[in-house]
């Protein structure tokens, strides 16, 4: 069977995408997992009460929350951080298609970011990543769901069935 250049190219792109997502999933300890619509709606509602002008999405994945924040808070700066190449690339494509000027997408490890630059930081990370984050997060309001932030007491805990939402006031 003879393969065309197009078929080989498509196959290589698919293979690269799979290997890339697997590599970063192992490295980061989790696959990109979107926040459900019901949880997203509740988190946006909670966030509005804080009137943020700067918002970060640590571990943005495919951008479920980053794009929701950019749309819900058009006057706020929204920074989305993602380390995995495929989700990062798709975030950039979606940004071009949707045109949110207030959304800035970074291929950067959010553990290297000063969280005190933001009024609100959102993350949906697994337990091990939350433990690491708890040692470095400073002076912000942190909103997360499913996994709590170890060694910190939430100022709000909303039970959404099987998915808890936690709001933490860190520092000042």
Residue 10 lies in a domain: no
Q: Is 50 a domain residue?
A: yes
Residue 165 belongs to domain with CATH number:
3.40.50.150
Percent of the chain with pLDDT over 70: 85
Task: Tell me whether residue 132 is in a domain.
Answer: yes
Q: Please give the average per-residue pLDDT across 23-40, as a whole number.
A: 73
3-state secondary structure the chain: CCCCHHHHHHHHHHHHHHHHHHHHHHHHCCCCCCCCHHHHHHHHHHHHCCCCCEEEEECCCCCHHHHHHHHHCCCCEEEEEECCHHHHHHHHHHHHHHCCCCEEEEECCHHHCCHHHCCEEEECCCHHHHHHHHCCCCCEEEEEECCCCCCCCCCEEEEECCEEEEEEEECC
Question: Would the pTM of this model clear 0.75, i.e. be above it?
Answer: yes
- Mean per-residue pLDDT for 88-117? 94
**pLDDT for res 26:** 59
Structural domain total, the chain: 1
At 100, the pLDDT band (50, 70, 90 cuts) reads very high
**Is-contact 67 45, C-beta < 8 A?**
no
Domain that holds residue 137: 32-170
User: Is 119 part of any domain?
Assistant: yes
Establish if 125 belongs to a structural domain.
yes
In a domain, 117, yes or no: yes
- Does residue 24 sit within a domain? no
Q: Identify whether 69 is part of a domain.
A: yes
Q: Looking at per-residue confidence, does 148 or 8 come out higher?
A: 148
């Amino acid at each position: 069977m003879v393969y065309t250049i197009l078929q080989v190219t498509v196959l290589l792109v698919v293979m690269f995408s799979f290997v890339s997502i697997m590599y970063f999933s192992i490295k980061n300890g989790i696959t990109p997992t979107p926040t459900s619509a019901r949880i997203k709606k509740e988190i946006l509602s909670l966030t509005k009460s804080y009137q943020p002008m700067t918002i970060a999405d640590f571990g943005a994945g495919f951008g479920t929350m980053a794009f929701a924040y950019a749309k819900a808070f058009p006057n706020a700066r929204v920074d989305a951080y993602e380390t995995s190449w495929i989700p990062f690339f798709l975030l950039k494509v979606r940004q071009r298609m949707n045109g949110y000027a207030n959304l800035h997408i970074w291929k950067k490890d959010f553990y290297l970011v000063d969280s005190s630059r933001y009024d609100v930081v959102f993350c949906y990370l697994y337990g091990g990543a939350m433990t690491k984050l708890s040692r470095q997060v400073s002076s912000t309001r942190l909103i997360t769901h499913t996994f709590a932030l170890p060694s910190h007491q939430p100022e709000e805990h909303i039970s959404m069935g099987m998915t808890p939402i936690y709001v933490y006031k860190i520092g000042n």
